[in-house]
Structure 1
């Protein structure tokens, strides 16, 4: 059955809307996981090659993996990127991810918390990231159309160390119930940067950030940006799968990769936000490639989600 048909969208009650929102979160999880099985074997990271130096003279025990950017220091240049939350099932996924982050010291970001602000009974599905990881670096996550008050509420809910603001106009356009007005995003981002006391990270959701976009973000006062390119989870495909007619298939693959975004950013003659990279990261070698291209840290979501779900299905 098509997922959007299963929503039974004739229930306009507050409870009905809440159930639909939670069901949509679960649909996203299953559709994102399914993409892991059929994604192309190659992506743009495979076109990045290192020059091998046989006498590098390195002692591994003296190498530090710590990374510092925009006043933030992480023990490793790797983080669990924003994924999910908003339902009982996704609460369990977030719990598993939070425990992994706690045990490894890897920073972790939540999925979009808008549902938690609208429907407080879903808040624990996000709060578990902090309760299971009390001393870790945790990032809250909201859409770029959030208000400063909502941004502060999201930060407070998680005791967050940073706030991700996602820009996802392509996803919203394909999403059956998505927004079509993105004109207020720049002003909203600037207002949130000015208001919240934690670092703000503006990120795409798998379609890439161009050099002009990064320059615009710098003008808005944004100090950190995740270029989040194509090659990983494709939210245009996910949302098209939820459309009754699946009539936006032509949008699959839209955008530029993290590799292209990082190379584009390197050509800028202006100061840009510190860059993070995600999208299509499959292996430690891909992490190294992104770091070599200018990223200060690298986010992974799909690979970790697939691992958690594989454990979920194991008796």
Structure 2
């Protein structure tokens, strides 16, 4: 099967998942404690976020999706247009297809030609050579590089990698050999605390936890198998909220993606410590079912509603959401208990006199 056909299959199977999804995931097991006097004035709210020396005007980005075929090139054109019109960052899909077939370069390059002044992230896998990583960055004039790690996708992939032992060393080589910040991301199975703690020593600047709950690439690759005999890997890994809880106090910049369905999920992830939050499948569904104007409207609405949530919660910046009280429920709470994470600390973050005084604008 050609690389272009595989890319088209990924989009088709991802859309089948989107249309069949039950709608619930572990973001529903995180809720804000409502403080009725916490609200602030909307003009005092900023969506700007800064992490690892990177500054974005909003804590939202269009995460890695596709590229490598005529159909996916058209999708990338529309995604880039939406990023340009809304001011959010955008990541390329895996650029491995370009390394194998340079004739598909324009299906990735369009991310920059349609979005000349935006923040664009290139995307390679952990087996890419340093030279190919540089080629990917140069092709789209990328501001940063995502390296995706995806053992749970590769395993059922008919033509997938089966040698994972060299990945960490290769990530270190890439990070040392490129001139832009390197972000390591999963593809929907999550990054554990242990994995995140290993990244700074490899020269990585940021981690995107990319948890389960959204597009399931193990399911997609199993759907491409004649026998579908890896169904036991469906749903593998940790959710984005679980990853963020697991990574509390690691002292390393985190992004969150995987199962982000609405602005409330964005606020939840920010409150759990993410510097910015990405969405892929939901934005792709809007684009496929509608058009680029529908996607622009959706992202614009999300940005407005994220600011509205910050206003109601008393968070002048996205980072201030980490001071809001959260309740952790259900299986997510069970996960925390098993991993030794005290969920009570999240429920009592604004309980000090100083925090309450600032929340209400009063003085002692």
- What TM-score do you get using the length of structure 2 for normalisation? 0.79
1:302 aligns with 2:284: no
Give the 4+ runs in structure 1 shifted more than 3 A.
Answer: none
Q: Which residue of the partner structure matches residue 71 of structure 1? A: 53
Query: In terms of mean alpha carbon deviation, does 67-76 or 214-223 score higher?
Result: 214-223
2:99: which partner in 1? 117
Residue in structure 2 matching 1:220, options 171, 194, 202: 202
Q: When the two structures are aligned, how many residues end up with a matched partner?
A: 293
Give the whole-Å Cα distance in 1 for the aligned partners of 2:137 and 2:168. Answer: 20
Unmatched segments (≥5 aa) in structure 1? 1-6, 8-19
Distance in 1 of aligned mates of 2:39 and 2:211: 34
Aligned counterpart, 2:151: 169
Q: CA deviation at 1:57?
A: 4.0
Secondary structure, aligned partner of 1:53? coil
Residue 29 (structure 1) aligned with residue 11 (structure 2): yes
Equivalence map 1:200-279=2 (5 Å)? 200-266=182-248, 270-271=250-251, 273-279=252-258
- The alignment's C-alpha RMSD in Å is 1.3
- Structure 2: distance between partners of 1:241 and 1:134: 37
- Which residue is equivalent to 2:131? 149
Separation in structure 2 between the aligned mates of residue 144 and residue 62 of structure 1, nearest angstrom = 42
User: Take 2:255 and 2:29, find their aligned partners in 1: how far apart are those partners?
Assistant: 19
1:85-113 deviations in Å (ceiling 9; x for gaps): 00000010000000000000000000000
Q: Larger Cα Rg: Structure 1 or Structure 2?
A: 2
Q: How far does residue 299 in structure 1 lie from its aligned partner after superposition?
A: 0.5
Aligned partner of 1:198 in structure 2 is: 180
Once residues 30 and 41 of structure 1 are traced to their aligned partners in structure 2, the CA distance between those partners, rounded to angstroms, is: 19
Alpha-carbon separation, structure 2, partners of 1:312 and 1:29: 16
Cα deviation, residue 311, structure 1 = 2.5
Describe the SS at the equivalent of 1:45. helix
- The Cα of 1:307 is off from its aligned counterpart by 1.0
SS at match of 1:236: helix
* Cα distance change of structure 1 residues 61 and 168 upon mapping to structure 2, 3 Å threshold: same
Matches within 5 A, 1:10-159: 20-159=2-141
Structure 2 unmatched runs, 5+? 293-364
Q: Which whole-Å deviations, capped at 9, do the CAs of 1:150-197 have from their partners, x for residues lacking one? A: 111100000000000000011000100101001111111111111111
Following superposition, the deviation at residue 217 of structure 1 comes to 1.0
Partner SS for 1:179: coil
- Separation (CA, whole Å) in 1 of partners of 2:291 and 2:69: 15
Matched position secondary structure for 2:290: helix
Give distance in 2, aligned partners of 1:201 and 1:40: 30
Q: Please, which moves more after superposition, 210-219 or 284-293?
A: 210-219
Aligned match of 1:286: 265
Q: Which has the higher contact order (CA 8 A, sep 6+)?
A: 2
- Other structure's SS at 1:49 match: strand
